[in-house]
Structures are given as structure tokens and as C-alpha cells.
Homo-oligomer: A and B are copies of this chain.
Amino acid sequence: MNPSDGLEHLSIIEPLCAVFRRKLKQVGLKYTPERAQILDAIIRRDGESSGVFQADELLAAMRSAGFRVSKATIYRTIKLLADSGIIQQVLFDAESAHYQLAYGKSASALLVNVDTREIIPIELPELVSLRDRICKARGLAAEGHRVVIYARVGNQMVK
């Protein structure tokens, strides 16, 4: 597949759809067109920008792409996807809930440029061992973590 054909996301749509479908069946729920379209829209968004989205953003994006889904279905589906482990909530501000695709990035962190409001997902592999060590010291097992780092454009010379 050509990496510049705008269809990179197709490489993950199929497996994620299958995962979602299986998870739904496990609990006796149905795989509907709306649910498929919402997951597809989330995957498409993941390609652009930071991949972090909010319910109303997603709704607006889908509407302007010609889909007619309701707010209620967006919220209900987001909850199902989070329960399935396909997306995860990221704690990034307190105004409203933010989510991102969770495939393989359960340990990632977000770097927020407070000047430009740009959100940059970063990897902090060192944090996992640090986290596990701290939990173990208290007889706990780490389940996950959330990290947000706030930064601004430094005026100091960068060597």
C-alpha cells in the first residue's frame, strides 16, 4: 500500500472492526452500521492530528462527512469502544472527556504545547518500569497510567 494514498488507516480498520464485532457478540450486542461508521471515523481521525478526540468533535466530523448519527449514539458507542479496550479515555483537561485509539499505546503520554494548543502523543517507556516499581513497593499492581506534560516554546537558546 502506498503510504501517501491517504488510505493508511485501512490497514488497521479490518482488525479493529473484527475486534469490536467479536466483543459485541460476546455480550450479545449487535454490530450496526452506525457503530461501524463511528469506529471508522475514529480510525480516520487517528491518522490526522493527534488522534485525540471528543464526542462532539467526532459528531461534527461525521456530520460534515455526510453521516447522520445522533449525539446519543456517539456517546453510547464511545462507551462500548472504551469497554472493549479499543479506545481509551485520556485525561487532558477537565472540560470534557477526551479519547484516543488504544491499540498498542496504553502506556503513551501526551505533550501539550500550551502556546499553540497542539497535542503531541509521545512515548515514555521509562515510565512503565518506574510505575511498576512504585506500585510493587506498596503491594499493588499497576493497571495503567495517564501522563500529560504541559510545555511552551522556550525562549532560551537550544543547544
Chain B residues with CB under 8 Å of A127's CB are 127, 130
**A150 to B154, Cβ gap below 8 A?**
no
| A7 touches B (CB below 8 Å) | no
Considering only residues 96-112 of chain A, those with a C-beta below 8 Å from chain B are: 96-98, 111
| A139 touches B (CB below 8 Å) | yes
Partner of A151, one of B91, B92, B114, B135: B135
Partner of A94, one of B97, B147, B149, B151: B97
| A126 touches B (CB below 8 Å) | yes
**B143 to A146, Cβ gap below 8 A?**
no
**B142 to A158, Cβ gap below 8 A?**
no
Categorize the interface residue count of chain A: 35 or more
| A12 touches B (CB below 8 Å) | no
Partner of A93, one of B91, B111, B156: B91
Beyond A89-B94, A94-B97, A154-B139, whether A134 also contacts B146 by CB under 8 A is: no
A139-B154, A145-B150 given; 15 more Cβ-contact pairs under 8 Å: A89-B94, A91-B146, A91-B148, A94-B97, A111-B140, A134-B149, A135-B154, A138-B151, A140-B151, A141-B153, A141-B155, A143-B151, A145-B147, A145-B148, A146-B146
Which residues does A use to contact B, with CB under 8 Å? 89, 91-94, 96-98, 111, 113-114, 120, 122, 124, 126-127, 130-131, 134-136, 138-156, 158
Lowest 3 CB-CB distances: which A-B pairs, in order? A141-B154, A140-B151, A91-B91
